[in-house]
Structures are given as structure tokens and as C-alpha cells.
A and B are shown apart, each in its own frame.
Chain A
Amino acid sequence: MTFDVARIRKDFPILERTVRDGQPLIYLDSANTSQKPRQVLDALDDFYERHNANIHRATHQLGEEATAAYEGARVTAAEFIGAAEPAEVIFTKNVSEGINLVAYSMGNASAMGLGGRFALGPGDEIVITEMEHHSNIVPWQLLCQRTGATLRWFGVTPEGRLDTSNIDDLITERTKLVALAHQSNVLGTINPVRAIADRAHAAGALVLVDAAQSVPHMPVDVASLGADFLGFTGHKMCGPTGIGVLWGRRELLEEMPPFLGGGEMIEDVRMERSTFAPPPHKFEAGTMPIAEAATLAAAIGYLGEVGLPALREYEHGLVGHALEALREIDGLRILGPAEPVDRGAAISFTVDGVHPHDMSQVLDERGIAVRAGHHCAWPLHRAMGVQASTRASFYLYNTHEEADALAEGIREAQRFFGAGGR
């Protein structure tokens, strides 16, 4: 089936509305959160209208249906990323929670004196990268503060690629875990996860992959990436907010102590102490976002029907076109790869004489939604020598004409602020 963007756009009701006094919406903020197709919206309604009940503990028909929807979503998510079994899929509310789950579990293993590969102490090291989202930096900083372990990181090159030149110095027998983004939310750079994972494993370290920006846009297989943990989130892939996945290898999840305690995650509770359910339930305390999980399955189904390989190919052409249009603008600097090679659909840039906040304001007046600021990647912006940037991020419903409208809007901002562009 060929990729037909006009047909796809019809699936997204929000693209029919206008903004800022009747202008068509040009939504270029999908790396922030994506829009939702009718099929996904209908799935959410269908769950609440026909199947709503709590799961696992309701002894009635609706409870059975809700449980089947929730556990069915786990199977769908597992197949989607090539997990060995559904029990390796833990539902979380987002990638941040998934990363915190691993970090706090390691902190608990350390505090409980459990030893093993999850316990950290002085002399142990966690390795991240300078291009991470804050959600893949701060939890590790906190973990290191709690345990006395040391945080280290890969830098970035001026072109916005990961600088792996000092990998031998960074990944050593002291490394307990390497955590990195599959794709940068700012630069669009796709990182060589497999090569880094192989080095990490050779040193005896675990590998956590933040796949929030890659899973919505390309086929991702946890085994071929070489990951031990991988997180992704529903709302960036046509699904609802409040639901994400942390995938982990079964043997690791078995070994890890819990993160959040509460209902449904236990095996037996006594006043003195408790024992815990096997994974994945050990990590799913309390009533989970049931409708959201069921709806995530619909989003995965939608992307499956579109076809991720076709989507990726379409976006590749679209990003190439957008990069070309932006490169023609005087005074515009693209942060990250300027060619569509090993890069995704997020394009961040600065324009001489126009602050990103002012740029986004001018674009918004023309109905073009982008993001301005540091995009939760402040260290990366410092490394690139800029205070902030404007980010246009594309998805399956965006068109070449919208990329052209972005370029024209940027020129309008230059004219308005007298920034000397042509």
C-alpha cells in the first residue's frame, strides 16, 4: 500500500480546525505530542462506553473484558517492539516514569544491601550523554547522589552527533548502566545504539534506551538494538497521554526490587513485610491507566496499518525537503545533522537576530505550531553554544507545503524583527 498523506490527514479531526483567526492549523510540534486519529479517539470512547471496569480484581463480565483489553494491549505492545514475551512490558505513565522506575529500583537495591548488578555505591558509574532529555539526566543525577556513584557522559560534536571518541575511557568495568536516547528530541540525531550497547555489554554494564522519539517514527526491535531496557510513550505515537511502556529483559525484571508499592503489585502482605508479584505486575502498583493502555493498542494498530517502513520513508523525504528549504534562509543555523542521514523528523534551529520565543510567536500568528526554548535539553543547548532554539517536528500527517509555509514564516519573522534575511 502506498503512503497517501491526503488520506491520512482525513483521519485526524484536529487538522480540520482553524487557529488564530481562521487560519488552517499547521502542526509542527509532534515531537512534543502528536495528534490523534479518529480510530484512536473511537477506541477510547468504546472502552469507556462499553467495557469500563477495573482489571484483575473485578469478578464480572465487564471486569473480564477490561482485563482482556488491558492485557491484550500488553501483548500488542510486546509484539510491536519485538519483546520475547508480554511479561517484559510494564505499563508506565510515560518514559520519565519508566526511567525513574529503573533508577529507583537500583536505588532500592543499593539501600537494601541486595548486592548484585543493580546495587550501586562509590566507585560505580552511570554513563549518559549530553544530548539527553532532562528525563534521562535528572533521575541518574539523583540516583548518584543517593548512592555515591559517579555520573559520566558522552559529549556531542559540533555537527550534533554523539562524540564516541572517548568511549574506551567512558565505558569501563566500573560502568553499571549506560542510558541514552535512540533519537535526540532536539537534534533529530539517531544514535548508534547497537555499537554502544555492544561495548557496554562487553564491560558488563546494562543499557537503557530512551526511545520516546524513535518508536513513533520507525520500526524498533529491542533485540537488534541490544537494549536491556527501553522506554516509549503513547502520546507521541498517535496514542493518549498517561500511558507509556518500559520494556525490560525478563531476568532483569525478576531480579529488580519494586519501585512503587501498593495494590496489585504484591504476592502476600503481612504487617511486618510483603512479598511481590512476578513481573510485570511487580511494577504496576495501584489502578493503572486501563483505558489509555487499551487505546495505546489502537494507536499501535493504526501505525501498523499505515506501515512504519512506509511512514519512515515518507518522513525521510519530507525532512529532506524541509532541511533544504531551511538551509536557503540567510542567518539560519540548523542544530544537528543538516542532511537527512541518520536523523529523524525533529529540526531545531536558530535565526540570527530573532529569539526563538519571538520566532514561535510570529509562526503562531500564521497558524504554525512549533516549540521554542530548550526543549527539556538544557545541557545540550549549552553544548551547542545556544541559549534556546526553535523546533519544528514533523509526523505522518505533515506535508511538503507545510514545510514551505514554515520557511516563509521564518522569513516573515526576519522581516518583522529587521533581522536582515531575504
Chain B
Amino acid sequence: MRLESLYQEIILDHYRHPHHAGLREPFDAEVRHVNPVCGDEVTLRVTLKDSDAGPVVADVSYDALGCSISQASASVLADLLIGRTVGEGMKVNDEFLALMQSQGEGEPDEDVLGDAVAFAGVSKYPARIKCALLAWMAWKDATAQAMGR
């Protein structure tokens, strides 16, 4: 059934038991993004630390209000990006954006996207793509602000 291809078990698991949820201190930047179409919102904080390989994502914490897709997406994002360099994180972000814009034709690389490959089915539903992207856009925005400090 099509419903299962959209709502893969990985998505439902993250929705019911979100990882890294809640807002934590300290943080370098905080943003609030909303989807004006449906009212979904996410407040997201990013903490960076320096390393030999450049700035690293030390923590992503968030408070998300929204549908299963947008909540699960925030959870998967935090899982994937915490501990990565900002450069790697931006690449993952670009890859995820490309997958969402693929209109169901994308062939996601699980080595890069991990659990986020489960969102491939979302790209077939134009009304839901913004749900999946909400946290990712917020992370990109918050990280850019944190880098600017």
C-alpha cells in the first residue's frame, strides 16, 4: 500500500521516539522556522566546536511541533549531523534537499543519508516536501549564524 511507502517504519519510529529532542544549553545560534502553509514550527539550536578538520557540530537541539514527517525529519537530522564537521553536514544537507526535489526518482545514497533515505517517498508528495525540509532549513540557517559569530 502507498501509505507504507510514504510512512516507512523508520519515520514512524523517529516520530514516536524522537532523538536529541528538547532545547539544550549552551548554544551558539537559535532559529525558529515555520511552515506558513500548515503552521508546523521548529525551534532549533546549534552548538559548534573547533577541531583540526574545521568547525564541528557539537550539538543540535530542537523543539518541533508538527506532523510525523516534520518531527521525524528533525530527529533524523540530529542523529546524522551531530559530531560531523560543518562541511560534511552541509553536504548531507544538500544531498537531502536533492532527494526531496527528486519527485520520487531519486536514488539516495544510504552511506551519506543514513536513516534519511526513508524520506525518499515524501518527494512524491509536493505538499509534504516542506514538512521534511523544515528542520534542515532551520539547521542550515542556525549553522550559518553560528559560523558568523
A-side residues, CB < 8 A to B, are 20-21, 355-358, 361-362, 365, 372-374, 378, 381, 387-388, 416-418
Contact = CB atoms under 8 A, between A and B. Distances in A.
Contacts of B6: 361
A356 B2 contact: no
Q: Give the contact-size bracket for chain B.
A: 20 to 34
Given A374-B38, A381-B39, A418-B16, 16 more contacts: A20-B2, A21-B2, A356-B38, A357-B66, A357-B69, A357-B128, A357-B131, A358-B7, A358-B68, A361-B128, A365-B2, A372-B38, A374-B39, A416-B7, A417-B12, A417-B68
B67 A355 contact: yes
B68 to A, nearest CB: 5
A355 B39 contact: no
Interface string B75-96: 0000000000000000000000
16 contacts: A20-B2, A21-B2, A355-B66, A355-B67, A356-B38, A356-B67, A357-B69, A357-B70, A357-B128, A358-B67, A361-B3, A361-B125, A373-B39, A374-B38, A416-B7, A418-B16
A203 B66 CA distance: 44
A356 B38 CA distance: 9
Contacts of B1: 365
B65 interface: yes
Contacts of A357: 38, 40, 66-67, 69-70, 128, 131
Contacts of A20: 2
B61 to A, nearest CB: 20
Contacts of B69: 357-358
Contacts of A416: 3, 7
B37 interface: yes
A38 B82 CA distance: 58
B39 A378 contact: yes
